[in-house]
Structure 1
Amino acid sequence: MARTLDEVHRDLRQAVTDRAGPLWDVALRLHADPEYAFAEHRAAALLTGELERAGFVVDRGVAGLPTAFAARSGQGRPAVALLLEYDALPGLGHACGHNLIAAAGLGAALALHAVLEGTAGCVTAVGTPAEEGGGGKAVEADAGVFDGVDAALMFHPGVYGWQWAPLTAQVQYKVAFHGRAAHPTGNPTEGVDALAALIELFNVLAVLGRRLPAASHIQGIVTHGGTATNIVPEYAEGRFGLRAATTRALDELTGRLREAAEGVARATGTRAEVERATVRYDHFRDSGVLSGRFAGHLAHSGITLTPPAPGVYLGSSDIGNVSTRVPAIHPFVAIMDEDGSDHTPEFAAAAASGRAREVLLAAAQALACTAADVLLRPGLREEAWAGHRAAAAAEC
């Protein structure tokens, strides 16, 4: 007799519980051995080894990234992707809790493989390196890793218990000014001061910043300002981080940066170069129907999620680039109280705490159950895709 969906959920929760010890061991091993963007070789080897031993077909080095992978159970459609992050922060280790993201995605994938045995479609555990600045998911999305996927699922540890993540779009640009060197006293009229132009750009952007909408800002640093105090700088360079609530607003802000740099160049007699310096992170588009399912399953473990506080934004992530292509979720589940913050030594310690262990197992169960809903309920898939298409149309 075929199992009901409730029975599948029960079996998935038990399958995660049965693996509680090994999953926590994976989380602690990652925590004790932090690796950074695109250099997470030991983490990728640990995770792919666990998946391969369980019977997954593992494809390493996907999207041309040595530490990325895709491990599949089953084939065809419907299909879900469980996203595993495992990079750490230089100097802070796993102060964003990616060790828990990886272990929870692993636990959900192993449970689905054991309970559904590849009979309900395809489950793929996708290793996504370099979330902290490198944009592994963006590279993977552009390479087609998420083509043919019906939902991309992950959770993120945090200081809030929020059903979905208010994540902005962001990118960094290099702005360089080219002038002409001269001695400031010997032949001052021959010089064209590139550093003065860069400083003027900071002034212009400060004025612009007072008129920007909520969630939009430009923050810059000087990366090259000259070579000696007795030489008028012929070259100066800055790097500017741009954020905005939506990808469209970010594109508009990028245009304002270009206009400001070109205007300063004309006014100062310099030549400006504006070049994108990083992968662009799109803003996150939540699949409300799927994040609602995750929250419902997480409540089974006694953890309640709420909508995010109005007007609050929590940075950016390359999950945004995935969410432009397929229905996606990225809920926050608290592992420490709201008076704390991630990207701190305290959060790194919390990512190896008893509370983190409880959250890891609860999140793995909720991810597995949500994935099963996508695989086994055609109506839910259709609703998720309809919402995804409607959100895309509203942004056009």
Structure 2
Amino acid sequence: MNPTFEDDVHAELRAAVAERADSLWRVAMGLHDDPEYAFAEHRAAALLAGGLAEAGFAVERGVAGLPTAFTARSGRGRPAVALLIEYDALPGLGHACGHNLIAAAGLGAALALRSVLGESAGCVMAVGTPAEERGGGKVLEAEAGVFDEVDAALMFHPGVHSWTRAPLTAQVQYRVAFHGRAAHPTGNPTEGVDALAALIELFNVLTALGRRLPEASHIQGIITDGGTATNIVPERAEGLFGLRAATTSALEDLVGQLRTAAEGVALATGTQAEVERATLRYDHFRDSAVLSERFAGHLSRAGIELTPPEPGVYLGSSDIGNVSTRVPAIHPFVAIMDDGSDHTPEFAAAAASPRARTVLLAAAGALACTAADVLLHAGLRDEAWARHRSGGQ
């Protein structure tokens, strides 16, 4: 593969994205104006899958048993690259995480790849991934084997930083219930076993535990059931706890500490503790540095420079982590605003701004070029897989 040919392919892919600029922005704005939520993104999935089908992709809807998940393939077999498309929104905030831009960028990259490379270079697969925010569509898709025959999984995420890789932690939620015995707090107070007091004591224990947890580890809880009336000693109380840690292994250690704390409180208060997982687990993200570097290089052609993430700064969690345990993956951040945070009304507004349009088109082009590199260069695939299997970045 000589440099002239490679440069020509990249130029053609960027041009193919540019030709679709208006239509891709209409998709992004259509999603932004009509937000749908976890596992209920029916109109978004239909819009995106329909556009891919019209372009000649073989579309399969309802993959992994999820009504709003889909795959769209151009070509078959290996090599194969997956472009991950998110389209769920946040209740009350709409697209305050910019998934409308993720969806349009993945769509644009897939369409450009088919128009330039056809089906001869391998398989281009666009994967519709519902419920990143509150469900974990990618977790279920990975478990169903959607990524088993894929050489790389690529996506970008809008943000307030422009970073080559995503420092995404592992996370899970657990429900802890304490069972005591009801009584009248005045008439027969000694007969009661206060489940709410036990739950509050668990919060106190976890506060003390939090002072000695490692970097990026924390437990945040809320009370979801604290009793029914002030004149009844609560016989049941329940809390929901979100756990995060820098690695999946550290997260499992944290789960063990939560269990130990709950059991200790139950023993001390004469209650019974029930600890159960309430959500799917998101693994921490494992970045494919060799592919992230390619993406950053392609994005720089559009005048957007990416830097390594700031040490010690973490940006939440995502189900892309579960994909990254199986195949080389990238999840760079590209800023659409310079201050503040996502999951805010300000970020939702930024996801429909002129800057967002510029980032969308630049990211779509960089994704398409990176995907083409994966498909056309066996050496790049081999290096990415070798690092992935060794556990390196």
Q: TM-score, normalised by structure 2?
A: 0.98
Which one-letter code corresponds to 1:34 in the other structure? Answer: P
2:148 corresponds to which residue? Answer: 147
Which one-letter code corresponds to 2:270 in the other structure? Answer: G
Q: Structure 1 residue 82 and structure 2 residue 83: aligned?
A: yes
2:107 corresponds to which residue? Answer: 106
Distance in 2, matches of 1:354 and 1:204, equals 48
Distance in 1, matches of 2:48 and 2:266, equals 50
CA RMSD of aligned residues (A): 1.2
1:22 corresponds to which residue? Answer: 23
Distance in 2, matches of 1:225 and 1:24, equals 47
1:48-77, CA deviations, whole angstroms, 9 ceiling, x for partnerless residues?
Answer: 110000000000000000000000000000
Which one-letter code corresponds to 1:48 in the other structure? Answer: A
Q: Structure 1 residue 389 and structure 2 residue 389: aligned?
A: yes
1:380 corresponds to which residue? Answer: 380
Give the CA deviation at 1:92.
0.6
Distance in 2, matches of 1:345 and 1:197, equals 37
Q: Structure 1 residue 246 and structure 2 residue 247: aligned?
A: yes
Which one-letter code corresponds to 2:326 in the other structure? Answer: R
2:368 corresponds to which residue? Answer: 368
SS state at 2:178 partner:
strand
2:196 corresponds to which residue? Answer: 195
1:319 corresponds to which residue? Answer: 320
1:118 corresponds to which residue? Answer: 119
Give the CA deviation at 1:80.
0.3
Give the CA deviation at 1:340.
2.0
1:347 corresponds to which residue? Answer: 347
Distance in 2, matches of 1:307 and 1:390, equals 22
SS state at 2:391 partner:
helix
1:127-167, CA deviations, whole angstroms, 9 ceiling, x for partnerless residues?
Answer: 00001021111111111111110000000000100000000
SS state at 1:275 partner:
strand
Number of equivalent positions: 392
Give the CA deviation at 1:230.
1.1
Distance in 2, matches of 1:6 and 1:56, equals 26
Distance in 2, matches of 1:358 and 1:191, equals 63
1:261 corresponds to which residue? Answer: 262
Q: Structure 1 residue 70 and structure 2 residue 82: aligned?
A: no
Distance in 1, matches of 2:94 and 2:228, equals 35
Distance in 1, matches of 2:49 and 2:286, equals 29
Distance in 1, matches of 2:286 and 2:196, equals 40
1:315-369, CA deviations, whole angstroms, 9 ceiling, x for partnerless residues?
Answer: 00000000000000000001111x2211111111111111111110000000000
SS state at 2:125 partner:
strand
SS state at 1:4 partner:
helix
2:281 corresponds to which residue? Answer: 280
Question: Could you list the runs of 5+ residues in structure 2 that have no partner in the other structure?
Answer: none
2:309 corresponds to which residue? Answer: 308
SS state at 1:274 partner:
strand
Q: Structure 1 residue 181 and structure 2 residue 182: aligned?
A: yes
Give the CA deviation at 1:189.
1.4
Distance in 2, matches of 1:342 and 1:179, equals 41
1:235 corresponds to which residue? Answer: 236
Give the CA deviation at 1:187.
1.3
Which one-letter code corresponds to 1:193 in the other structure? Answer: D
- Identical columns (%): 81
1:196-231, CA deviations, whole angstroms, 9 ceiling, x for partnerless residues?
Answer: 110110010000000001100001010001111111
SS state at 1:206 partner:
helix
Of 179-188 and 144-153, more deviation after overlay is shown by: 179-188
Distance in 2, matches of 1:28 and 1:181, equals 54
Which one-letter code corresponds to 1:141 in the other structure? Answer: A
Distance in 1, matches of 2:58 and 2:282, equals 29
Give the CA deviation at 1:175.
0.0
1:102-135, CA deviations, whole angstroms, 9 ceiling, x for partnerless residues?
Answer: 0000000000011111111100000000010211
1:290 corresponds to which residue? Answer: 291
SS state at 2:104 partner:
helix
1:166 corresponds to which residue? Answer: 167
1:289-325, CA deviations, whole angstroms, 9 ceiling, x for partnerless residues?
Answer: 0000000000010100000001100000000000000
Which one-letter code corresponds to 2:30 in the other structure? Answer: R
Distance in 2, matches of 1:160 and 1:238, equals 34
SS state at 2:239 partner:
strand
